[in-house]
Amino acid sequence: MSKRVAFLFPGQASQKVGMGRDLVDAFPEAAAVFEAAREVLGFDLPKLCFEGPMDELTETRNAQPAILLHSLAVATVLRERLGGFVPEFVAGHSLGEFSATAAVGSLSADDALRVVRRRGELMWDAGQKVPGTMAAVMGLDPAAIAGALEGVDAGRVVLANLNSTAQSVISGDVEAVEAAIEPLKAAGARRVMPLNVSGAFHSPLMEVVQGDFARFLEDISFADPGAQVVKNVTAKPCRSGDELREGFVEQLVSPVRWHESVAWMVDEGVSTFVEVGPGSVLTTMGARSFPNAEFIATSDVEGTEKVLALLRERG
């Protein structure tokens, strides 16, 4: 490829009823990925993706493998129809980091499904043991958000997702997140929007299940990836399977440094970012933050065909 390309993989909240049905109908490679998931997980995840209901699909334990399944189906189509093409860089938003790791050969597709299913179960369990919530903060940079949070004494509340210079997510105890709303608005936030989540993801409240997840990952094989995986925790790349495993454990309680991750790839000369999976959240966010780079979504057949044509042309 004459221009540097990175694949981006979306995280939770990108799920929707009907996801992947058109891909399965259009691409035999995608159909094979979806079909394999039934046996791996022991229940009909493809049917849940195609038919819902939405409330069941949105459950953390289901949404995470569903989004990963869609992402891996698209990634498989792109790889096989582009003669084994793997981009130089990949990154995934929270859950999406598992999709990215599987897409470049560090995790098998079967293991990736098992891992994110267990991750979703544990994250839901953490929310039951230590109730927490999250809220999106618009129109305020991360440094100003951190400053506003310092004055909140109603419990633990931290920056969880640093998505862009103008959009972040806070996470923590229910009372602390609620208490942070007014200080954030006083600091200049345009809007603070509570999120419908089952727990305080990417915060210290997830420590109650961190050990269980680490033990689960001990039995999972991680090969060194076939591309540079830009990690959420550090916003820097790694090429070691062991480092990826360790990062996934740390990721549970650490912020997703997404804006920094994309900025690092831009500085490395990446000019085209392909969002591999359902929705277009990362494409929309990236286009606003990095107007000189190209962002393309592959959430449906049309988007996937567009990316195939583009990368073939640049061959």
Active site residue 202: yes
Say which of 202, 203, 261, 280 is annotated catalytic: 202
Backbone angle region of 48, left / alpha / beta, with phi > 0 → left and psi within -120 to 50 → alpha: alpha
Q: Does 53 sit behind a cis peptide bond, omega within 30 degrees of 0 on the bond before it?
A: yes
Nearest to 77 by CA among 100, 95, 103, 39: 103
Active-site entry in 14, 70, 71, 94: 94
In 61-151, the DSSP E strands lie at: 89-92, 132-138
Output the DSSP codes for 5-34.
EEEEE--TT---TTTTHHHHHH-HHHHHHH
What 8-state DSSP symbol labels residue 273?
E
**In whole angstroms, what is the distance from residue 146 CA to residue 141 CA?**
9
CB contact at 8 A, 197 and 212: no
Pairing verdict, β 270-275 and 4-9? parallel
**Residue 23: closest CA among 265, 308, 284, 300:** 300
- Residue 71 is among the residues annotated as catalytic for this protein: no
Task: State which H helix or E strand residue 251 sits in.
Answer: helix 241-251
* Residues with catalytic roles: 94, 202
